[in-house]
Chains A and B, each alone.
Chain A
Amino acid sequence: MDGMLTLLVLLPLAGFLLNGLLGRRLGTGFVNVVGVGLPFLAFGVALWAWRTLEAGDGAPIVETVFTWAVVGEYSFEVAFYLDRLSAVMALIVTGVGALIHLYSIGYMKGDEGYARYFAYLNLFLFFMLLLVLGRSLLVLFVGWEGVGLASYLLIGFWFQDAAKARAGRKAFITNRVGDAGFLLGMFLVFTFAGTLEMDRINEAFAAGLIPVGVATAAGILLFIGATGKSAQIPLHVWLPDAMAGPTPVSALIHAATMVTAGVYLVARLSGVYLEAPAASTLIAVIGVLTAFLAATIALVQTDIKKVLAYSTISQLGFMFLALGVGAYGVAVFHLFTHAFFKAALFLGAGSVIHALNGEQDIRRMGGLARRIPWTFGTFAIATAAIAGLPPLAGFFSKDEILWFAIASGEGGALWLWALGSLTALLTALYMFRLLWLVFLGHSRMEPETERHVHESPVTMTSVLVVLAAFSVIAGWFALPQYLEPLLALPEVRFAWGGWHLLQVIFAVLLALLGLAGAAWLYRDGGRPADELWQRFRRLHRVLAGKYFVDEFYDRALQRPWRWVSDRVFLRLGDRLLIDGSLHGLAALARWSAAAFARVQSGSLHWYAWMTLFGLVAVLIWVWRYV
């Protein structure tokens, strides 16, 4: 039906406007109805749209809303495009989004900025839908930047804490760095394809008319954009800091949806990347490195949300690994499953934090399993899912990724697989570490905190349960196959399908190994692990310091830029050279004026002499050559 997609997009926008303009005045009830109701409605519309799509047997639905700009022969239109990929994304976004909205009612209860919070969250949904439904890169970019904005606003939601505001800014700026690459990639694509509509771009590239060099360059540039949004090396630094925002926000934006936008982008433009093997390889390498390094950092983090943040980065790395080896559908699959279990994890963490009145340090937790059983249960399921224990969701998707990492005919390599597998092991390790430290063992809480521990309200736990359920079943959807018509899976290099089975077994073993390792190391409040780290103190420092990337950026980029701005631009350029020379000229003028005044000494003799001098001068001049 016409207008369906537009309606889908506009629903959250309406929520934003209503809550933003009126929310404060009309009270919590109104805010809840609007702020939570509309996302659910949107989910409903998304389902409806998906049904419509399937009714048409997956033929893309295009909905042109209006023409944004026509410049010469180029036309930029705002149009929505629904195919299976975007439908899956829209469903995730609205589904998980709606759940998290619901969860937020309990989590944010009594907050001063309650209406503002829901307004922002709705705004986020709006932009995210714009992102996934946009037909052209331009609309996607609008959403892309828009979710960045929402993220910025929500990270800095408690703006009176300067550190939080700063974290929001960091996220925005880091994203902007990626966006710069994105823009350039977009321009390059536009220059060759003459359009920004992604289906047509894919067609143009698929037609093979565009030089490989260009495709590679465009691919890399767009991927830079993706690294920004999806927190890949080297632009991953913002995501851990983004945990300053309210936890549901971390769940929705910084785990389930927004950060996967980069994955979506690459998948969406698979036509470009298929033409650019070098770019794809780069993606795979960055992906696997990110996955590995983030996992190592996650091992030693002590903030519950930071652990999850690094885990998110790591999982996103997996997705990019899949993208890099051409398994776009698999990446989306992992995106899909990840959305549920990571949301569940974050919301679980939120529940923990809620229960502990804001405590986030896992060293001061422990033994919560009995006190908050619902949270514990769902958290455990999600942990198992992310660790890749069968038959939970993560098992299926991650396994596929690892399989294609080695088996893909488009860039699969042993070392990718090996590193990926190691990361999978680490994942299991750090996730179970988290589980152990938070929920099991004995309590290390402050007595004051401990007294107040309480299970979260039903609005929160119900959401946890739903998400946990999905963490279980999400893997059972054969998403790669569902997307196959759109995103073909790469051909497999190994003739014998049995290899795959071996890999599965190996992966499960790794997960179990991780589980066992964690159980052993982190029993008793993690003392064995501490002793172990004592031996590798230096390594621990590096990991706890997150490889000092932040410090490196600070020293290598931010401080030099400030230094250059201040010393070179301001002091040397503006003040000394430009204004200095101007003031010098002014001083010269004043000096000459003073000199002229001295000449005008008042002495008649002197005046007469000047006349005499003038006469002599002009006479000599005119008689010079005669």
Chain B
Amino acid sequence: MGVAVTIETVFFGIFSLGALAGAVAMFFLRHPMRVALALIGTMLSLAAIYAQLGLHVIAVFQVLIYVGAVMVFMIYAIMLLDVRDRSFTERFSPLLVAGLAGLLLLVGVLVDGLLRGEPVVTPVIREDVFSVGTFAAVFMDEFWVYFALAAVLLLVAEIAASAVIDIRRRGEDLAAARREKLDE
């Protein structure tokens, strides 16, 4: 990557702005659905950046898994829980000011640190590594164990989710418990 302003830099700049704009929008948008859309915008911007960085596989995953699976699930939940209560009317928590102060500090310290921190290792540019084929080969060769473990993790997540969902069946127990506690 060069120092001069290249077309790449402009590209990165635009999508960075896009990503940031999405993130900032998430702050202010009232409706969760719109927040979700803003997040998706951010994610897509990032996907573009990944692609430009040559991480095509990752860019694809970003779109497929994140936007395709996670956010869809999220949007589903948002639609399911369309409650217009205080969480809707009042966007911000009582800690808005404190949070923003924290934001300033954190952004300051992180950005300052990241800007000043340069990788100590000499960059090795290997354009070919992250093509789909090569990456897959590397993955399957050296990192296959993570693939297996990912399967375990997802299985566990399924079990966990189903367990939590099952609890709803016990709503009656819960109501009884609450009554008893109120009697106390």
For A605, A616, A620, A626, the residue with the greatest tally of chain B CB atoms inside 10 Å of its CB is: A616
What sequence of 0s and 1s flags, for each residue 588-626 of chain A, a beta carbon within 8 Å of any chain B beta carbon?
000000000000000101100100110110011001001
B94 touches A605 (CB 8 A): yes
Residues in B neighbouring A613, C-beta threshold 8 A? 102
Whether B98 contacts A616 by the Cβ 8 Å rule is no
Q: How many residues of A contact B (CB 8 A)?
A: 12
Q: Are A616 and B95 in contact (CB under 8 A)?
A: no
Q: Inside 8 A of B105's CB, which chain A residues have their CB? A: 616, 620
The answer to whether A605 and B95 have CB atoms under 8 Å apart is yes
Contact B95 A609 (CB under 8 A): yes
Contact B109 A609 (CB under 8 A): no
B162 lies within 8 A of chain A by Cβ: no
Taking a contact as CB atoms under 8 Å apart, the answer to whether B93 and A612 are in contact is no
Of the candidates B95, B110, B113, the one whose C-beta lies within 8 Å of that of A606 is B95
CA distance A603 to B105 in the complex (A): 22
Give chain B residues whose Cβ lies under 8 Å from the Cβ of A619: 106, 109-110, 113
Interchain CA distance A616-B116 in the complex, whole Å? 17
B109 — which chain A residues lie within 8 A by C-beta?
A: 616, 619-620, 623
Shortest Cβ gap from B30 to chain A (Å): 17
- Tell me the complex Cα distance, A606–B106, Å: 16
The interface bits of chain B over 94-112 (1 if a CB of A lies within 8 angstroms of the residue's CB, else 0) are: 1100110010011001101
Contacts of A620 in B (CB 8 A): 105, 109
Q: Are B106 and A612 in contact (CB under 8 A)?
A: yes
Query: Is there an interface contact between A612 and B110, defined as CB atoms closer than 8 Å?
Result: no
A residues 161-214 near B (Cβ < 8 Å) are: none
Instruction: Tell me the B98-133 residues at the A interface (CB within 8 Å).
Output: 98-99, 102, 105-106, 109-110, 112-113, 116
- Residue interface bits B158-174, CB-to-A below 8 A is 1, else 0: 00000000000000000
Provide the residues of chain A in CB contact with B94, threshold 8 Å.
Answer: 603, 605
A604's closest neighbor in chain B, by CB?
B93
**A623 to B113 CA separation, bound complex (whole angstroms):** 8
A606 to B110, CA, bound (A): 21
For the complex formed, measure the closest distance between the CB of A613 and the CB atoms of chain B, giving whole angstroms.
6
Contact in complex: B99, A612 (CB < 8 Å): yes
A620 to B109, CA, bound (A): 7
Q: Which residues of B contact A609 (CB under 8 A)?
A: 95, 98-99, 102
CB distance from B5 to the nearest CB of A (A): 29
Q: A613-B102, A616-B102, A616-B105 are in contact. Are A605 and B110 (CB under 8 A)?
A: no
CB nearest neighbor in B for A611? B102
Instruction: Please indicate the chain A residues that have their CB under 8 angstroms from the CB of B95 in the complex.
Output: 603, 605-606, 609
Which chain A positions have C-beta within 8 A of B110? 619
**In the complex, A609→B116 CA distance in Å?**
26
CA distance A619 to B110 in the complex (A): 8
Given contact pairs A612-B99, A619-B113, A623-B113, A605 touches B93 in the complex (Cβ within 8 A)? yes
- Give the chain A neighbours of B99 by CB distance below 8 A: 605, 609, 612
Q: Is the CB of B106 within 8 A of A615?
A: yes
Considering the complex, give the chain A residue whose CB is closest to the CB of B109: A619
- Interchain CA distance A612-B113 in the complex, whole Å: 16
CB neighbours of B112 from chain A (8 A): 623
B116 to chain A, nearest CB (A): 8
In the complex, how many angstroms separate the beta carbon of A332 from the nearest chain B beta carbon?
91
Q: In the complex, which residue of chain A has the Cβ closest to the Cβ of B113?
A: A623
Considering the chains assembled together, what is the distance between the CA atoms of A365 and B106 in angstroms? Answer: 106
* Distance, CA A626 to CA B116, complexed state (A): 10
A622 shortest CB reach to chain B, Å: 9
Contacts of B98 in A (CB 8 A): 609
Q: Which residues of B contact A626 (CB under 8 A)?
A: 116
How far is A612 from B99 in the complex, measured between Cα atoms in Å?
Answer: 8
CA gap between A616 and B104 in the complex, in Å: 10
Per-position 1/0 for A496-536, Cβ under 8 A of B: 00000000000000000000000000000000000000000
For A440-484 the 0/1 string (1 means CB < 8 A from B) is 000000000000000000000000000000000000000000000
Q: CB-nearest residue of chain B relative to A618?
A: B109
Q: Which residues of B contact A612 (CB under 8 A)?
A: 99, 102, 106
Residues of A within 8 Å of B113, CB to CB, are 619, 623
- Residues 532-549 (chain A) with a chain B CB within 8 angstroms: none
Nearest chain A residue, comparing its CB with the CB of B102: A612
Alpha-carbon distance between A626 and B110 when the two chains are bound, in angstroms:
14
Q: What A residues does B102 contact at CB under 8 A?
A: 609, 612-613, 616
Report B-chain residues with C-beta under 8 Å of the C-beta of A603. Answer: 93-95
**Distance (Å) between the CB of B40 and the closest chain A CB?**
23
Chain B residues in 8 Å Cβ range of A623: 109, 112-113
Q: B110 — nearest CB in chain A belongs to which residue?
A: A619
Give the Cβ gap from B45 to chain A, nearest Cβ, in Å.
25
**Alpha-carbon distance A612/B101, docked complex (angstroms):** 10
CB-CB < 8 A to A616: which residues of B?
Answer: 102, 105-106, 109
Q: Bound complex: CA of A616 vs CA of B103, how far in Å?
A: 9
CA distance A623 to B111 in the complex (A): 12
A623 and chain B: residue at smallest CB distance: B113
Q: Give A616 to B109 CA distance when docked, in angstroms.
A: 7
Alpha-carbon distance A605/B95, docked complex (angstroms): 7
CB distance from B155 to the nearest CB of A (A): 29
> Which residues on the B side are within 8 Å of A605 (C-beta)?
93-95, 99
CA distance A615 to B116 in the complex (A): 19
Please report the C-alpha to C-alpha distance between residue A472 and residue B94 in the assembled complex, in whole angstroms.
Answer: 110
Q: State A620–B112 Cα separation when bound (angstroms).
A: 10
**Considering the complex of A and B, which 5 residue pairs feature the smallest CB-CB distances, nearest first?**
A605-B93, A612-B102, A616-B105, A619-B109, A605-B95
Q: Show 30 A/B contacts (Cβ-Cβ < 8 Å), sorted by A.
A: A603-B93, A603-B94, A603-B95, A605-B93, A605-B94, A605-B95, A605-B99, A606-B95, A609-B95, A609-B98, A609-B99, A609-B102, A612-B99, A612-B102, A612-B106, A613-B102, A615-B106, A616-B102, A616-B105, A616-B106, A616-B109, A619-B106, A619-B109, A619-B110, A620-B105, A620-B109, A623-B109, A623-B112, A623-B113, A626-B116
Which residues of A pack against B, CB within 8 Å?
Answer: 603, 605-606, 609, 612-613, 615-616, 619-620, 623, 626
What would 4 more interface pairs be, CB under 8 Å, given A606-B95, A609-B99, A619-B110?
Answer: A603-B93, A603-B94, A616-B109, A620-B105
